[in-house]
Amino acid sequence: MLKKPYVLAIASFLMIPVVTVMGGILFSAINPDIAAGSPNYTLIYRLLDLARKLSMLAMFFAIVGLWLLACFFLIKSKQKSYAWLSMAMLGPFGFTILSMLRDRAPSPGDLHQRFVGKLNIYLRIAYEVGFFVIVWDVAYRLMVLKRNVMIILESAITGVSTAQIVNLQSASSGMWAFSEGNEVMYLVVLFYLLWPLGFNTAARLPKLWKTSD
């Protein structure tokens, strides 16, 4: 069983894309150009434009708040000093460090913490470095897979060739690189959050199979 603070850390992190999508929908819904033809066009336009900017600002602060909450609950679940919250400023790299901290009071059924606790310093370093490399590699490959699938779907829906879509994306490569970089970092943190749950589940499978037999 996962500790309640750890579950809250997962929930907080999973809310980030939800807030991002909702913020994007709200931003798109606020169109200052609808003020055209109004006798108070200038005033209404400025108010709508301000509302649009405030919606983006609110989304940004909400995302930052959720990120800090995810880090806070992770630290709390491990019963570490809240001074570790400063690692949140390092993004996914800081979260990686927080994930490596030993749990001062692991739950009796936490097989992952029991496994990590038995490793000596050299094996622990090798384990963490290996896991770090694998997670980033898998996250990058999933991002590429998602990109290719989206290109194929867009081509099928619009009738535009995949080569043309790739060329259009290449024309705004900076924006796409930023977006895909964020996707990779999000997946990395998600993998780190879900890994103990996956490890504990996988470790219990042989026992469950034996019980069912």
As a whole number of angstroms, the distance between CA 45 and CA 42 comes to 5
- What tokens were used for 180? 């895909």
Rounded distance, CA 161 to CA 74, Å? 45
Q: Helices marked H in the chain — which ranges?
A: 4-29, 41-77, 92-100, 111-118, 121-158, 162-171, 173-212
User: In which region does residue 37 sit, left (phi positive, over 0), alpha (psi from -120 to 50) or beta (all else)?
Assistant: left
pTM, whole model, 2 decimals? 0.85
Residue 150 is encoded by which pair of tokens?
């989206």
Mean pLDDT of 125-140: 94
CA pair distance 50, 70, nearest whole angstrom: 30
CA 94 to chain centre: 13
| Band of residue 211 on the pLDDT scale cut at 50, 70, 90 | low
> Mutual orientation of helices 173-212 and 92-100 as an angle, nearest 10°?
20
Digit-coded pLDDT (tens) for 31-61: 888 877 777 778 888 888 899 899 999 999 9
Which of the four pLDDT bands, split at 50, 70 and 90, describes residue 68? very high
Note the pLDDT tens digit of each residue in 164-188: 877 877 776 677 788 888 999 999 9
CA–CA dist 48, 35 (Å, integer) = 8
Average pLDDT, rounded, for the chain: 87
pLDDT number for residue 165:
79
- CB of 62 closer than 8 Å to CB of 76: no
Residue 138, amino acid: V
66, 16 Cβ separation under 8 angstroms: yes
**Can you tell me the mean pLDDT for 79-83?**
91
Reply yes or no on whether the pLDDT at 212 is more than 60: no
**Rounded to an integer, what distance in angstroms lies between the CA atom of residue 37 and that of residue 21?**
31
Q: Is there a contact between 26 and 48 (Cβ–Cβ < 8 Å)? A: no
Q: Check residue 87 and give its pLDDT.
A: 94
Give the C-alpha separation, 125 to 142, whole Å.
Answer: 26
Tell me which DSSP letter residue 87 carries: G
Tokens of 86: 């400063």
Domain ranges of the chain: 1-90, 106-213
pLDDT of 213 over the 70 cut: no
